[in-house]
Amino acid sequence: MPLDSGRDAAPRCPPIPDQVDGRTVRGTVPTPNAQEAVVLLHGLTRSSRSMRRMASALREAHYTVITCDYPSRSADIATLTTNLFAKLIPQLKDAQKVHFVTHSLGGILLRTYLQDHALPNLGRVVMLGPPNGGSEVVDKLGSLKLYQWINGPAGTQLGTDTNSVPLRLKRPDFELGVIAGDRSVNPILSCLIPGKDDGKVSVSRAKADGMQDFICLHVTHTFMMSNRRAITQTEHFLKTGTFKQNRIEQTARIL
């Protein structure tokens, strides 16, 4: 079973002008956010269309939104990262600040790139359902031919063993907020994952050392990037560097 479900796509990053909504929204004057770009990176076996609701909300917040497709099933993580950022980086040099919002594998590609490269204008990063600690699903199913056919080489590198790419990445040194989910619509895969999970990644393994903030929502891995609460939390972190916590969550974090 794929860590994400959806249609793969050819690699392409439309030019920034094609992604900018230059019109006034709801009669308001565009804010300084227009000088800031947000790059959306989809997950394994998905396409940029899976991030449409997120993109629409961020455009309404007057960010320049850049959506990229990459063929997630076609190569290993290192190759996907190299090819994706070779197309993406030239589009970012003129932006005052560049934020990233990623889903699942997209977050691992960003972390892989930042291992050996710097983005001087890097802003904040929100990762939704990232397998920062790998996924036990890959441990159990990764050796199966069907799994490999569905998920490709990158999908087999997201486990929790010595072959895990996420576990070999350095501690993030940027402003990172992580959104995890604890709702599953796949009981079979959830049986392979200890503790609470979103059907693909456990809540505990979504976390990353050095993250700025963390929140768990009652959402599924496959659809969390379209969830209204996840979108609201994403916007809040991009603006403030923290998630909106209710009183119980705030108390738990303090204790």
Residue range 138-154, pLDDT digits in tens = 999 999 999 999 999 99
Whether pLDDT at 10 is above 80: no
What SS3 class is residue 101?
strand
Give me 198's structure tokens: 């979103």
- Rounded CA gap, 227 and 80, in Å? 27
DSSP string, 168-220: GSPPP-SEEEEEEE---S-HHHHTTS-SSBSSSSBHHHH--TT-SEEEEES--
Strand order in the sheet with 122-128: 64-68, 36-41, 97-103, 122-128, 175-181, 213-217
Closest CA to 87 of 104, 70, 111: 70
More confident residue, 188 or 254: 188
- Digit-coded pLDDT (tens) for 155-208: 999 999 999 999 999 999 999 999 999 999 999 999 999 999 999 999 999 999
Main-chain phi, psi angles of 68, to 5 degrees: -125, 140
**CA angle at 102 for the pair 101 and 105, rounded to the nearest 5°:** 170
Whether pLDDT at 40 is above 60: yes
Name the packing angle between helices 105-116 and 77-88 (round to 10°): 80
What pTM value is reported for the model? 0.85
Give me 131's structure tokens: 């397998």
pLDDT band at 33 (very low <50, low <70, confident <90, very high): low
Closest CA to 69 of 88, 55, 90, 56: 88
| H/E segment holding residue 231 | helix 228-240
Main-chain phi, psi angles of 7, to 5 degrees: -105, 135
DSSP 3-state percent helix, strand, coil across the chain (nearest 5): 40, 15, 45
Closest CA to 125 of 133, 113, 136, 135: 113
Strand-pairing partners, residue 176, are: 125
Strand-pairing partners, residue 128, are: 103, 179
CATH superfamily ID and name for 16-254: Alpha/Beta hydrolase fold, catalytic domain (3.40.50.1820)
Contact 24, 170 (CB under 8 A): no
The alpha carbon dihedral of 96, 97, 103, 109 has a sign of positive
Distance from the first to the final alpha carbon of the chain:
38
Mean model confidence pLDDT for the chain: 87
